Amino acid sequence: MMRRLLYGMLLAAPLALGLDVFFHESVSPVVIFILSAIGLVPLADFIGEATEELAHYTGPRLGGLLNATLGNAAELIITILAINAGLLELVKASITGSILGNLLLVLGASLLLGGLKNGIQTFDRRTASLNGTLLVLALVALAIPTLFDRALAETPSGELLFNEAVAFILIVIYGLNIFYGFQTQKGPASEEAGPAVLATQEMVKAEPHKARWSLRTAVIVLIAATVGTALLSEVLIGAVEPVTQQLGLTEFFLGIVLIPLVGNIAEHLVAVEVAIKNKMELSLAVSLGSSIQIALFVAPLLVFISLLFNQRLLLVFTDFELIALGGATLVAALIALDGESNWLEGAMLLVVYLISGLAFFFLPAI
């Protein structure tokens, strides 16, 4: 049923491209924006599915690295094109929105529906503790450039150099996290693998069947879905400004709520689905692991990518974003530390997400 729905949504992709190319002046930008957003959902899913299929041929270790690299490929493509368009605030808002969405919306829905179906669910406390520590580290690392920016802004060159240094350090610690996952995979403590590697390991355990696609098919689908995502993302980004004017929304709200959902909704559904099947290790690996990947890899990588487009993307967020990130990290870490979950904890996370979403909706343009 879900697969048929995704195939149906895929029809929106060529429709959005055709309207943008041939009827750009006569069709409302809102229509083009909505169609491109709908079309991006199945394309993001195809990227994720092709990556998983490739993991069957490469093995858990290389598959874990592949998943760590391409896990957020769709959203990365969208943000790169937004950087090229000069929409830097939209990019930073999408970083915040991705972390909030994974920690509150995805994890919350997983705990709620999984708890209602299976009662109290358990997972490994050591892995949860490691993930919680990485989340706190990511929050501190993203907060420091923001808090020090007022002083560093007086020397733009020093400000940029400081942000580049922080971005480099975050990528290093993310790489060490992946290396730790590979290292522990060799011994009896393989359940302590890093989140990116753990996700692939758990998928292999949960679905030991042979790959459904050939290696050639997986590569072709990955390339085609990536190209399609790039083309459709350009249409989406091009419609952002007229859409905000017509609907009265801010770029900030679009970045916080809509962009992360479009790029990650297929992955979100996987986390909820496996939680309902009582596979909380995999569900946590997807939700918490994706948040860690965004904070420690995608966000700092975008700092360096922005330089290629002659832009200056700094890891400087608003006070509102830091407050929301701090609250989400605290609540998610506390819930994960005891090694078990229930539906009420999921409802708590969803409540925090709804309150945050309402706050950002009514927040005027900054």
What is the DSSP code string of 288-331? HHHHHHIIIIIHHHHHHHHHHTT----S---HHHHHHHHHHHHH
Mean pLDDT computed over 183-212: 50
Length of the chain: 366
Identify which has the larger pLDDT, 68 or 310.
310
Centroid of chain to Cα 148: 26
Nearest to 240 by CA among 265, 258, 225: 258
Identify which has the larger pLDDT, 84 or 213.
84
In CATH, the number for domain 2-362 is: 1.20.1420.30
Q: CA angle, corner 186, sides to 183 and 188, nearest 5?
A: 110
Predicted TM-score (pTM) of the model is 0.84
The CA distance from 115 to 119, in Å, is 5
Q: What is the pLDDT of residue 62?
A: 64
Tokens, residue 80: 């790169």
SS3 87: coil
pLDDT in tens, 327-358: 898 888 888 788 888 999 999 999 999 999 89
